[in-house]
Structure 1
Amino acid sequence: MSIVVTGATGQLGRLVVDALLATVPAASVAAVVRSKEKAADLAERGIELRIADYDRPESLADAFAAGDRVLLVSGSEVGRRIAQHRAVIDAARAAGVAQLAYTGILGGDGADFDLAAEHKETERLILASGLPHTFLRNGWYSENYTAQLAQVLAHGAVVASAGEGRIASATRADYAAAAAAVLTGPIEEHLGATYELSGDTAWSFAEYAAEVAARSGREVTYRNVPAATHLEILTGAGVPRGFAEILVDVDRAVEQGALALRTGDLARLIGRPTTPIAASIGEALPTS
């Protein structure tokens, strides 16, 4: 039996592997990856590599074994994920895994925005499969915003169309620690469970801009714009129109409170408070 992480070379997958290795030996961890070369550092740490591709279902035949505890990290290619996830689910069922944990989206069936659709369908596929499962419904990553700090500082503004909506974000490392806890804890405690994962505190874009200003010593304001204007700004900056529409729709959801949900599940699973947005801003600010 192994603890298996799919997408293990991705931003979240690598952090899950790190969290696992803090508590279990490398020999008990396997990584499902597309590229052996990209995962060479994982192999050097003693992790078994299982080469497979979400887009090639036949390659998943040897990705899992009976009794494995598996984390399905959702694919990153919006519009293609249902078929990709179905291939993983089918392979996990055929292998007889003991647990399939899935990184879905905060709110589950109640999440009324476009980006949630593939996650909701994946959960339905898992339920229909009869697999022993755990749903990890991740809220927003703080890095979704702090990764853009250079542009924010360059323009002196945080631009969004979310009004006064709030976001209960946490770091990828926080979510990774929760996944590791679910994969290493007593399995009977987590099978059939659904965890709504989010940060301890929900913040607004105005508060976010004020924190960036305070920590950088620069003037930064929140510029709330209509959705149509926001779409024009994003596409004008080179964001593909389809993805820009998804981002604008997310801001609509933020304004309606969809990403402000706080249940305390994340903090309980990781055994500590979640990382505040202020700390994430301080860590991400350019040093020069």
Structure 2
Amino acid sequence: MSIVVTGATGQLGRLVIDALLAAVPAGPVAAVVRDKAKAADLAERGVELRIADYSRPETLAGAFEAGDRVLLISGSEVGRRVAQHTAVVAAAQAAGVAQLAYTGILGGPEADFLLAEEHKATERAVLDSGLPYTFLRNGWYTENYTANLAPVLAHGAVVSNAGEGRIASASRADYAAAAAAVLTGPVEEHLNRAYELNGDVSWSLAEYAAEVARQSGREVAYTSVPAEAHREILTGAGVPAQFAEILVDVDRAVEHGALASRGDDLTRLIGRPTTPIAETIGAALAGA
């Protein structure tokens, strides 16, 4: 029996591997990756590599074994993820894995924004498979915002159509720690459960802008604009129209509270408070 992480060379996947190796020996840890060379550092740490591609179902046949505890990290190719995830679910079902954990979206079937649709379809596929599951419904990563600090600082502005909506974000490492906890803890405690995962403290984009200004020593202001104006700003900056629509829709969801707190599942799983937004901002500024 192995603990298997798909998408293991991605930003979240690597952090999950780090968290696993801090909790268990490398021997039972396996990484499903597309590019063996890209995962050479994982192999050097004793992690077993299994080569497969979400978009090539035939490669997934050897990715899992009976009794494995598997983490399906959602793919990054919006619009293609249902087919990709369904292929992984089918391979896990055929292998007879003992647990299939999936990184979905906060709110699960109640999430009413465009970016949630593929996650909801994946959860339905997992349920239909009959596999023992754990749904890790991740809220927003703070890094979704701090990764965009360069233009914020250049223009001294955070622009959004989220109004005064609040976001209970956590760091990517927090979510990785939660995934490691459900993969290494007693399996019976986590089977057929859905965890709503979000940060301990919610914040508005006005508060985010103020904290960036405080730590950077620059003037940064928050401006809330209508959805159509925000869409035009994004496409004018070169964001593809389809992705701009998703970003505007997410901000609409934020305004309506879809990414605000849904409880303390994340803190309970990781056994500590979630990472404060000020800490993640500071780390991003230090690396800028």
TM-score normalised per structure 1: 0.99
* CA displacement at 1:262 relative to structure 2: 3.1
Match of 1:267 in 2: 267
Match of 1:221 in 2: 221
Residue 198 (structure 1) aligned with residue 198 (structure 2): yes
What is the identity, as a one-letter code, of the residue corresponding to 1:96? G
Q: Mean alpha-carbon deviation: is it higher for 102-111 or for 234-243?
A: 234-243
Residue aligned with 2:27, SS:
helix
Q: Give the Cα separation in 1 of the matches to 2:43 and 2:102.
A: 24
What is the identity, as a one-letter code, of the residue corresponding to 1:159? V
Return structure 1 stretches of 4+ with deviation > 2 angstroms: none
TM-score normalised per structure 2: 0.99
- Report if the CA contact (8 A) 2:200-2:261 is conserved: no
1:143-196 Cα shifts (integer Å, max 9, x gaps): 000011111111001111100000000000000000000000000000011100
What is the identity, as a one-letter code, of the residue corresponding to 1:262? R
* CA displacement at 1:238 relative to structure 2: 1.2
Over the aligned positions, Cα root-mean-square deviation in angstroms equals 0.8
Question: Any gaps of 5 or more consecutive residues in structure 1?
Answer: none
Match of 1:60 in 2: 60
1:68-123 Cα shifts (integer Å, max 9, x gaps): 00000000000000000000000000000000000000000110000000000100
Match of 1:158 in 2: 158
* CA displacement at 1:261 relative to structure 2: 2.3
Q: Kindly tell me the number of residue pairs found equivalent between the two proteins.
A: 288
Q: Give the Cα separation in 1 of the matches to 2:105 and 2:249.
A: 15
Q: Give the Cα separation in 2 of the matches to 1:17 and 1:237.
A: 35
* Identity percentage of aligned residues: 79
Q: Give the Cα separation in 2 of the matches to 1:235 and 1:18.
A: 37
* CA displacement at 1:286 relative to structure 2: 4.7
Match of 1:278 in 2: 278
What is the identity, as a one-letter code, of the residue corresponding to 1:69? R
Match of 2:124 in 1: 124
Following superposition of structure 1 onto structure 2, how do residues 177-256 of structure 1 map, counting pairs within 5 Å? 177-256=177-256
- Report if the CA contact (8 A) 1:5-1:30 is conserved: yes
Q: Give the Cα separation in 2 of the matches to 1:239 and 1:43.
A: 37
Match of 1:110 in 2: 110
Following superposition of structure 1 onto structure 2, how do residues 65-144 of structure 1 map, counting pairs within 5 Å? 65-144=65-144
What is the identity, as a one-letter code, of the residue corresponding to 1:118? E
